Chains A and B, each alone.
Chain A
C-alpha cells in the first residue's frame, strides 16, 4: 500500500524558533497533500491543502505567515512553524492523495512541543 512518512516524529523547540516538518510519499506521486493539526482527544483540524507547484490553500483562521507550507515536488511537502510559541504545541499530521484516488494516506504524525 501507499506509504507516507513524516520527519521528525517528535521535536522540542524553544519559543521563538522555527521548526520544519517534512512529509514524503514514498511509493506514489502525491498531487495533493493535506496538513492537519490534532489536539489531545480531539478530531483533526485541516490547516491547509497543497498541490504540487502551487501555493497552499489555507483554511479559515490558519495564519499562512506562521504556518508556511511548501509542496516542492510530487513526493515532498514541508510545514514550517515560524516563531513558534507554546500554544503551537500539538500533533501535526500530513496526508497525501494520488490523483483519481479519493482516499488519503496518512503520515505517522509529528509531536511538536514548544517550551
Chain B
C-alpha cells in the first residue's frame, strides 16, 4: 500500500537559516505529491504540489522536486522566517490507492528570531 515517511521533528532553526524537511514515499502507480502546512489551531493549507516526475512545486519561497528515482519529495526553503513556524505534512494520492490521500506524520518547524 501507499505510505509516506517524514523526518521527525521538531526542527528548530534561527531566522534566515536554510530549511530541508525530508519526505520519501512508497506508492503504487504514479502518485501526485503534496506538501501541506498547518498553522496552530487551523486546518491544513496546500503549500505546493507536483504531479509527475521531475516536476518542481514552489510557493512562498518553498520548493520541492518530485524525484522518482529516489521516491522523494523533500521540502526546502532558502531563508526561513518566524512566520514559517508550523507543522508541515507530506502527502500523496494515486490511482492505485483510489485517490485516498496518504499523509506523513507531520514535521513541526520552529523558527526563532
Contacts and interface: CB of A to CB of B under 8 A. Distances in A.
B32 interface: yes
A93 B43 contact: yes
Interface in A33-57: 34, 41-44, 46, 49
25 contacts: A34-B100, A42-B105, A43-B103, A43-B105, A44-B44, A44-B103, A44-B106, A46-B100, A93-B43, A95-B44, A95-B101, A97-B99, A102-B99, A103-B34, A103-B46, A103-B93, A104-B46, A104-B101, A105-B46, A106-B36, A106-B44, A106-B46, A107-B43, A109-B42, A109-B43
Contacts of A6: 43
B101 A46 contact: yes
Contact of A103 (B32, B41, B42, B103): B32
A105 B36 CA distance: 10
Contacts of A8: none
A25 to B, nearest CB: 13
Interface of B: 32, 34, 36, 41-46, 49, 51, 89, 93, 99-101, 103-106, 108
Contacts of B32: 102-103
Most B CB contacts (10 A, CB to CB) among A4, A32, A34, A109 go to: A109
Contacts, number: 49
Nearest to B49: A103
Contacts of A44: 44, 89, 103, 106
Interface string A81-115: 00000000000010101000011111111010000
B74 to A, nearest CB: 18
A81 B45 CA distance: 25
Contacts of B100: 34, 46, 49
Contacts of B41: 109, 111
Given A102-B93, A103-B34, A43 B46 contact: no
Nearest to B87: A41
Contacts of A34: 100-101
